[in-house]
Structure formats: C-alpha cells, structure tokens
Amino acid sequence: PLGVESGKYDAVVSNVTVTEERKDLFDFATHRNDVIAFQVQAESDIDSISEAKDVSGLQVVVGSGTNQEKILLDWFAENEANGIDPGEPVYYDDNAAAQLALASGRVDAIFGPNPTAAYAAAVSGESKVVGTINGGFPETAQIGVTTAKGNGLIDPVAIVLNSIIDNSTYDEALERWGLEDERVEESLVNPPGLPRP
C-alpha cells in the first residue's frame, strides 16, 4: 500500500483488508472474504484452534501490526485473565523463516492469511490448517484490490473481477487451492470496512 500511495505501483493485489481508516487513502474492489488460519506441523497433536483457550501455552508466529496479531493478543489477554498460560507471540520478518521455525519445532503454530497457509500445506505436505476465522473477528472483513484514492482505476478493476466471478474462472481458482470459504458473490467498490480503532 505504501508503494501505491507514493505512485510507484498502480495497485496491490494481495491480502489487504478493507478498513474505514484505509479508505481515507485508498480505493478497494473486494475479491475475497478475509479468512485467517492457524497452521501447525502435519504430524502435530493439535487438531483444532478456534478460541482463546486453544492457544494457551503455545508459541504462535504472527505478523506485527496485522489484524491477526490483534486477535491473537486479545486471546492471550483473555487466557491470562482466566488464569491459564496465555501463550506467546513470535515474530519473523518473512514467511520463509516462519515456515522453517514451524517445520523445525521452534514454534507451535503460525497464524496468518489462509491462502498462505493452505498453499504451504498443499505444496509441502509438512503442515496442516487446524482452524480458520474471519480476519475481522468478531466483525466480518473483506480483502480488496487496492488503488490510490480517486485515481479512477478501481471501477475497471471491479468490472474485471465481476467478469471472472460470473464466468466461473474465480470459482475454479478458489477450488484449486481449497479456498472456497473465501468466496464473495460480487466485487464491491469501497464497501463498509472494519471500523476505525
């Protein structure tokens, strides 16, 4: 997004969540529901993470400043308030280092974007996804192609996205990677985003 803001790039097609605060600077055309996932080693005894108590005592890799970090830190605080081992966040600069830490057993789980976790599990077979939640938890959030505010690109982007949604190319891509739960019915331009902090 900083490259889009500076004019270096025309658009970001990645994992940018639509928020009301970001809409001050950017336009969005939604293309996925924001789903984040807990990923563990394939042979791990952990088979489900869906609530705060499930991360008690775990070392969990999470990205600094992300929606998932906020959720995870809230869950750790909830555990501490309930008198159980809260768990510990672990930070790495890139996904490759995080995947290596998981594979070597230095951490128990990675909490990040579902597509990244699903891809890693499908390609390497060394990990598995044991839980997903919406990235805006407890709110519902969406991911959008991101352009500079008012530069006129977002409406054509939404037209293209809606075309691939209508002709089933979109569904084929989601099915290929097991991401059907991230499907949106249509690409919306600047829909309501997560509320301001």
The strand pairing partners of 111, in sequence order, are 38, 62
Domain 2-34+140-175 and domain 35-134 have a common topology: yes
- Alpha-carbon distance of 144 to 11, in angstroms, equals 10
Q: Does domain 35-134 have CATH number 3.40.50.300?
A: no
| Parallel/antiparallel/unpaired status of strands 142-148 and 26-33 | antiparallel
Residues in the chain: 197
Report the 10 Å Cβ neighbour count for 59. Answer: 15
Is there a contact between 24 and 147 (Cβ–Cβ < 8 Å)?
no
| Angstrom distance (rounded) from CA 4 to CA 22 | 12
* Whole-prediction pTM: 0.84
Assign domain 2-34+140-175 to a CATH class.
alpha beta
3-state SS, residue 125: coil
Q: How many CB atoms lie within 10 A of CB 69?
A: 17
Kindly give the confidence (pLDDT) of every residue in the chain, 197 residues in length, as a single tens digit, with 9 standing for 90 and above.
889 999 999 999 988 999 999 999 999 999 999 999 999 999 999 999 999 999 999 999 999 988 899 999 999 999 999 999 999 999 999 989 999 999 999 999 999 999 999 999 988 999 999 999 999 998 899 999 999 999 999 999 999 999 999 999 999 999 988 899 899 999 999 999 999 88
The residue ranges of every structural domain in the chain are: 2-34+140-175, 35-134
